[in-house]
Amino acid sequence: MEAVKCAVVGLGLIGTEHAAVLAGSPAADLAVCCDVDPQAKGRVPDGVPFTTVLDEALAAPGLEAVFVCTPEFAHRPTVEAALARDLHVFCEKPLAASLEDANAMIEAANRRGGGLDVGHILRFDLRYIELWRAVRSGKLGRCVHVVARRNSWDTEGKAVRGRTTLPLYLGVHDLDVLRWLAGDIARVYAEAGGAGVVGEGIHDTVAATLRFDSGAVGLLELSWGTPSQTGIEWDSRLAFIGSEGSAYVDIAETGVSVYTAQGPQFPDTTYWPRTYGAPSGILRTEDEHLLLRVRDGRPWPLTLEDARAALVAALAMDRSIAEERPVSLTELVEGDPTS
């Protein structure tokens, strides 16, 4: 397969990882990286050109695909500019920070006839895929209830505080998976707390109940409260309770524990580890699937409507927290011409 000429726009934590994967993949030709911060040049893989000007990046000769890894509030202008140049776009989750932006991006992709995919990485995580396969097989029966947890380091919360929320940044992962497993979400009721872990007056934990159209119910726990000194970066779990069986995912453990005078460490062995210096893991699987999709049109594991629905559920949680009441998802989409 001829390598796909691509660009990465946005070199924060996840954009830097995407750039490393693409620079090391034989399926990719990383032509350029772009970020508005000139200091981001230090995070660019060796030999890859860097620019702070989006138009320069998108004008790279022979460019075919763009990985949009900017903060979610900045997704829309980058996605629309790339689609206007007839480029295939990978957009990191969440699709956008607002329903208005999400709708505009989807409409731009539809006018082009496609070319926009949203990166919900759990759709490429074999643990979640195997649970979904068990649900799809029917062996677990009807969904009775689901429970998901996604707790992350306090340092991550400090890095993104003020620009996003727990439902948008972390919860959208599980909201997508819960819809995948249990069907459309009808209503959410969320409560948020703040212990000053990531900053005074900032929510560092959220607990929510969910009701699905099917009648099943769910629980979702989100937090930026995991102390970094514990060495545990992610504490994520999922339980699916069916009428005829149950299934579970637990990724609190990485399979490796290292204890030294500097404290405990639990090295990543799944999402973006390094194997003899080369990026590997689930993120590489996701990126290379996108590159193969550019070449042969293979399907993406979620639709733009799936990505939009996860965003709507996250926004409904934010509204529930702000207004201290249950929120029906129809409140956000009534009158929306794309709904």
For 240-274, what is each residue's pLDDT tens digit? 999 999 999 998 888 899 999 988 888 889 999 99
Residue 69 and residue 209: Cα distance in Å, rounded? 30
Token pair for 248: 């579970």
CB 231 within 8 A of CB 264: yes
Is 277 domain-assigned? no
The mean of the pLDDT values for the chain is 95
Q: What is the domain range of residue 202?
A: 123-270+308-321
Q: What is the pLDDT of residue 335?
A: 53
Pair (103, 128) in one structural domain: no
Give SS3 for 292: helix
Q: What is the pLDDT of residue 182?
A: 98
The residue among 72, 330, 195 whose CA lies nearest residue 206 is: 195
Pair (17, 106) in one structural domain: yes
Give SS3 for 232: coil
**How many domains does the structure of the chain reveal?**
2
Which stretches of the chain are assigned E, i.e. beta strand? Answer: 4-9, 28-34, 50-51, 65-68, 88-92, 116-119, 143-153, 185-193, 205-212, 217-226, 234-242, 246-250, 258-260, 263-265, 274-275, 278-279, 327-328
Pair (111, 162) in one structural domain: no
Task: Give the bridge partners for 205, in sequence order.
Answer: 193, 223
Pair (56, 193) in one structural domain: no
Pair (177, 316) in one structural domain: yes
Pair (128, 257) in one structural domain: yes
Is 76 domain-assigned? yes
For 27-47, what is each residue's pLDDT tens digit? 999 999 999 999 999 999 999
Pair (98, 138) in one structural domain: no
Q: What is the pLDDT of residue 336?
A: 60
Pair (108, 140) in one structural domain: no
Q: How far is CA 248 from CA 4, 180, 222, 237, 256, in A?
A: 37, 15, 18, 7, 20
The tens place of each residue's pLDDT in the chain, 339 residues long, gives 899 999 999 999 999 999 999 999 999 999 999 999 999 999 999 999 999 999 999 999 999 999 999 999 999 999 999 999 999 999 999 999 999 999 999 999 999 999 999 999 999 999 999 999 999 999 999 999 999 999 998 888 888 988 999 999 999 999 999 999 999 999 999 999 988 888 888 899 999 999 999 999 999 999 998 888 888 888 999 999 999 999 999 988 888 999 999 888 888 899 999 999 999 999 999 999 999 999 999 999 999 999 999 999 999 999 999 999 999 999 998 756 454
Is 278 domain-assigned? no
Pair (137, 56) in one structural domain: no
Is 339 domain-assigned? no
Pair (18, 152) in one structural domain: no
The CATH number for 237's domain is 3.30.360.10
